[in-house]
Amino acid sequence: MKSSKINFNSTAFSPPTPIHWEEYLIDGQTQNWSGESEKVYSPIETVNDDGTTSRVYLGSSPTLDEATGLRALEAAKKAYNNGRGTWPTASADTRIAAMEKFVEIMKTKREEVSNMLMWEIAKNSTAAYKEFDRTVDYINDTIEEFKELQRRGSHIASKGGVISQIRRGPLGVVLCLGPYNYPLNETFCLLIPSLMMGNTVVFKPAKYGVLLLTPLVEAFKEAFPPGAVNIVFGRGRTLAGPIMKTGEVDVLALIGNSKSSNALAALHPKSNRLRQVLGLEAKNPAIVFDDANVDSAVKECVNGALSYNGQRCTALKLIFVHQSISEEFCAKFTRAVDALSLDHPATDSFLTPLPEVNKVAQMEAYVEDALSKGARVINQNAGRVSDTSFFPAVLFPVNNEMKIFHEEQFGPVVPIVEYSNLEEVMSCIAESDYGQQCSLFSENELTIAYAIDHMVNQVCRVNINASCQRGPDYLPFTGRKDSAVATLSVHDALRSFSIRTVVATGSAQKDLVRNIISSGESTWMTTDYLL
- Boundaries of every domain in the chain: 62-279, 284-473
What does each C-alpha distance from 526 to 86, 125, 148, 165, 531 come to in angstroms? 18, 46, 14, 9, 12
What does each C-alpha distance from 367 to 224, 298, 321, 390, 412 come to in angstroms? 48, 21, 20, 12, 11
Which pLDDT score is estimated for 531? 63
- Residue 499's DSSP bridge partners are 169
d(CA 28, CA 26): 6
Q: What pTM did the predictor assign?
A: 0.95
3-state helix, strand, coil in the chain (%, to 5): 40, 25, 35
The closest of 405, 402, 414, 403 to 374, measured between CA atoms, is 402
**CATH H-level superfamily of 284-473:** Aldehyde Dehydrogenase; Chain A, domain 2 (3.40.309.10)
Which pLDDT score is estimated for 49? 79
Report phi then psi at 119, rounded to 5. -80, -35
- Residue 498's DSSP bridge partners are 170
Which pLDDT score is estimated for 53? 81
For residues 301 and 288, is the Cβ–Cβ distance under 8 A?
A: yes
Ordered strands of the 53-62 beta sheet: 19-20, 53-62, 37-47
Which pLDDT score is estimated for 51? 75
d(CA 111, CA 214): 13
Which pLDDT score is estimated for 5? 44
d(CA 529, CA 93): 10
Q: Is the peptide bond before 392 cis (omega within 30 degrees of 0)?
A: no
The closest of 515, 333, 519, 528 to 417, measured between CA atoms, is 333
Which pLDDT score is estimated for 8? 54
In one letter, which amino acid is 307?
S
Tell me the residue ranges of DSSP E strands in 248-362.
251-255, 275-279, 284-288, 316-322
The closest of 454, 479, 482, 457 to 468, measured between CA atoms, is 479
The one-digit pLDDT tens for each residue of the chain (531 residues) are: 554 445 555 456 788 999 999 999 999 999 999 999 999 999 999 877 787 888 999 999 999 999 999 999 999 999 999 999 999 999 999 999 999 999 999 999 999 999 999 999 999 999 999 999 999 999 999 999 999 999 999 999 999 999 999 999 999 999 999 999 999 999 999 999 999 999 999 999 999 999 999 999 999 999 999 999 999 999 999 999 999 999 999 999 999 999 999 999 999 999 999 999 999 999 999 999 999 999 999 999 999 999 999 999 999 999 999 999 999 999 999 999 999 999 999 999 999 999 999 999 999 999 999 999 999 999 999 999 999 999 999 999 999 999 999 999 999 999 999 999 999 999 999 999 999 999 999 999 999 999 999 999 999 999 999 999 999 999 999 999 999 999 999 999 999 999 999 999 999 999 999 999 999 999 889 888 766
Name the helix (H) or strand (E) containing 62. Answer: strand 53-62
The closest of 329, 319, 327 to 292, measured between CA atoms, is 329
**CATH H-level superfamily of 62-279:** Aldehyde Dehydrogenase; Chain A, domain 1 (3.40.605.10)
d(CA 65, CA 193): 28
Please state whether beta strands 437-441 and 284-288 pair in parallel, antiparallel, or not at all (unpaired): parallel
Angle (CA) 342-59-73 rounded to 5° is 110
